[in-house]
Chains A and B, each alone.
Chain A
């Protein structure tokens, strides 16, 4: 299957700092990328849908000023958690869909954020 690379896999930061997570599709062009958050033993919670070259569409209840998403190219999307607080500690996962929009979604390895 297609490869999606997510970096960093783990990050620990102090409260009040900003953290950027990168998501790259390595062997295909992803017109659409998705960012999810996952709490322990729970399913994926969609945060936002990101289309290349346009503003991200955020799900209800997700603060767009806190979770900045940029999808500047067909292979790269970034999620920046601004002014992070301990309650933002979570597992963040990106995924990418190919241009055919067949529904096949390929996930990154996830990034575990710990805010002290």
Chain B
């Protein structure tokens, strides 16, 4: 079993829809949770960063962390074609240097 599981998709939704992306994990020691967006042939871009549990909102993006269920989510409201990309979840434990990444979900927003 991988430490971090993420459905690779692909996921295709119409423009304007609410998108829900998720990751589950097995290591209860993870404390830092991140979402990255990666456009084709580009490096990943940090989208959302959360420490411990709770919600965080930034514009159309909301990140949720449920440590009791070992489950994190990224919601995209009013999705746009420019949101089409691969979304990677990542997490790490306190004191660790390395991040553990999910496989990434390929998302396409159709105009």
The interface of chain A, by Cβ under 8 A from chain B, is 1, 4, 6, 32, 34, 41-44, 46, 49, 91, 93, 95, 97, 101-110, 112
Q: Total number of A-B contacts with CB less than 8 angstroms?
A: 59
Report the bound CA distance from A97 to B103 in whole Å: 21
A43 touches B45 (CB 8 A): no
Task: Name the distance in Å between A104's Cβ and chain B's nearest Cβ.
Answer: 6
Chain B residue at minimum C-beta to C-beta distance from A105: B99
Report the bound CA distance from A4 to B36 in whole Å: 15
Main secondary structure of the interface of A (DSSP, over half): strand
The interface of chain B, by Cβ under 8 A from chain A, is 31-32, 34, 36, 41-46, 49, 51, 88, 90-92, 95, 97-99, 101-104, 106
A97: contacting residue among B49, B97, B106, CB under 8 A: B97
A102 touches B46 (CB 8 A): no
Known: A43-B104, A44-B44, A105-B34. 9 other contacts (CB 8 A): A1-B45, A4-B43, A93-B43, A102-B51, A103-B32, A104-B34, A105-B90, A108-B43, A110-B43
Task: Name the distance in Å between A75's Cβ and chain B's nearest Cβ.
Answer: 17
A-chain residues with CB within 8 Å of residue B92 when the two chains form the complex: 103
A-chain residues with CB within 8 Å of residue B41 when the two chains form the complex: 91, 110, 112
Whether A43 touches B102, Cβ cut-off 8 Å, given contacts A6-B43, A102-B32, A104-B46, is yes
